[in-house]
Amino acid sequence: MVRAAVLPAVDAPLKLVEIDLPEPGPGQVRVRLAAAGVCHSDLSLSNGTMRVPTPCVLGHEGAGTVVSVGAGVTHVAPGDGVVLNWAPSCGSCHACSIGEVWLCSHALAGAADVYAKLPDGTELHPGLNVAAFAEETVVAANCVLPVPDGVPLTDAALLGCAVLTGYGAVHHSARVREGESVAVFGVGGVGLATLQAARIAGAGLIVAVDVSPEKEELARAAGATEYVVASDTTAREIRKLTGGQGADVAVECVGRAVTIRTAWESTRRGGRTTVVGIGGKDQQVSFNALEIFHWGRTLSGCVYGNSDPERDLPVLAEHVRAGRLDLASLVTERIGLDGIPTAFENMLAGRGGRALVVFD
């Protein structure tokens, strides 16, 4: 029996309860969590913006120590530190066959599985495959990757989503070049990782945009050279900061129609707008045909930073070891499992960066 934060149904309050977690079967790994980040995607799952089977245990950004492994698992062993990979690639679908593993057709298939039970026998699903909002979890072997040398285990949790997403948005999707100007919309956990990634890429002007004036210090510490409090004049302010042209690259980390539209308008003619934020179906973004032709901008979605965790984790680890990437600075609050509902409220209110659940 282990403690876990269970989502009984969409829009229902999380319940902190003990669950019956079985030992790993063939091709599975049991992990004792060291830490789990509270991501906006968890909030989107809890309120129904994205759908997964319930009841379930949420949490998809985590790291911990292998407790035991099932038959056939050879790449990790008990005692190893691992990062959870919530979107493992199958290796055989069309997307995987052309190297776009972040678009794997079967990446979330495990979310429909039953992986644990409540004491009364109610079956539980593993949220986004890995169920990190629990003291321990059991996952498929391809959902764990060894923690790279030199990365503290607790900090490594952030590699599982926020950092892979932010770094990938800059380096894989927008492909920021040295000296280019970058505008980052939303200074939460992913936004802060995006700002650090823009700095690592050698961007010149880096503009952070958020509704909260209180986040300026966080943004500047992550690499922002300018800070703009979001308003009706945001696009105009960014154009002014960039000599009237607009930013070479805009990265939207919020997932709201108005923010996506503003990011687009803040991008120079011929520039690139990358959308990382996950919005609901009700968030409709409109463009007219003439402006699409005239501005010549590229608008692209970005799933999981267009990242391949097996390829990118060693790269990120090298940035950590060299002091270029500061994982701990993304965290503005360290909490227990019982602090997750408050972390959700803070995200809705636009407060803070990443909240990190730290296990004893």
Cβ–Cβ under 8 Å, residues 128 and 161:
no
- The arithmetic mean of pLDDT across residues 24-30, rounded, is 97
Cβ-contact 31, 65 below 8 angstroms = yes
Write the single-letter amino acid at 24: P
Q: State the angle between helix axes of 234-241 and 257-266 in degrees (0 to 180), rounded to the nearest 10.
A: 30
199: alpha, beta or left, given left = phi > 0 and alpha = psi -120 to 50?
alpha
Asked if the model's pLDDT at residue 360 lies above 80, the reply is: no
Tens digits of residue pLDDT in 288-330: 999 999 999 999 999 999 999 999 999 999 999 999 999 999 9
Q: Which two tokens stand for residue 300?
A: 């692209």
First to last CA, the chain: 16
Per-residue confidence band for 350, with pLDDT thresholds at 50, 70 and 90: confident
Please provide the average confidence, as pLDDT, over all residues in the chain: 96
The count of other CB atoms within 10 Å of the CB of residue 73 is: 19
Predicted confidence (pLDDT) at residue 242 exceeds the cutoff of 80: yes
166 within 8 A of 191, measured Cβ to Cβ? yes
pLDDT confidence of residue 49: 87
Continuous H helices in the chain: 40-46, 94-97, 153-156, 162-168, 189-200, 216-222, 234-241, 257-266, 289-295, 309-321, 340-349
pLDDT digits (tens, 9 = 90+) for 134-187: 999 999 999 999 999 999 999 999 999 999 999 999 999 999 999 999 999 999
Residue 50 has pLDDT above 90, yes or no: no
Tokens coding 350: 């636009």
Q: How many CB atoms lie within 10 A of CB 232?
A: 8
C-alpha 75/C-alpha 243 separation (Å) is 52
As to burial, measured by CB atoms within 10 angstroms (0-12 exposed, 13-18 middle, 19+ buried), residue 167 is buried
Write the pLDDT tens digit of every residue in 222-235.
999 999 999 999 99
Neighbours of 323 (CB within 10 A): 7
Given a cut of 90, is residue 48 above it in pLDDT?
no
Residue 143 to residue 48: CA distance in whole angstroms: 24
pLDDT at 96: 97
Phi, psi of 135 (to 5 degrees): -60, -35
In tens, the pLDDT along 258-295 reads 999 999 999 999 999 999 999 888 999 999 999 999 99
C-beta separation of 250 from 234 below 8 A: no
Distance from C-alpha of 339 to C-alpha of 345, rounded to nearest angstrom: 10
How far is residue 69 from each of residues 22, 24, 75, 360, measured CA to CA in Å? 12, 6, 10, 22
DSSP string, 58-88: ---EEEEEEEEE-TT--S--TT-EEEE-SS-
In this structure, of 10-19, 42-51, 243-252, the range with the lowest mean pLDDT score is 42-51
**DSSP output for 8-42:** -STTPPPEEEEEB-PPP-TTEEEEEEEEEEE-HHH
Mean pLDDT of 329-338: 96
The DSSP letter of residue 147 is P
Q: How far apart are CA 349 and CA 257, in angstroms?
A: 18
- Distance in angstroms (rounded) separating the CA atoms of residues 76 and 98: 27
For residue 115, give both structure tokens: 């992986």
Q: Tell me what the mean pLDDT of segment 98-126 comes to.
A: 95
Least confident of 45-49, 79-83, 253-257, 336-340: 45-49
- Nearest to 165, CA basis, from 360, 11, 354, 336: 354
Q: What is the largest CA-CA distance in the chain?
A: 64
pLDDT at residue 253, as a whole number: 97
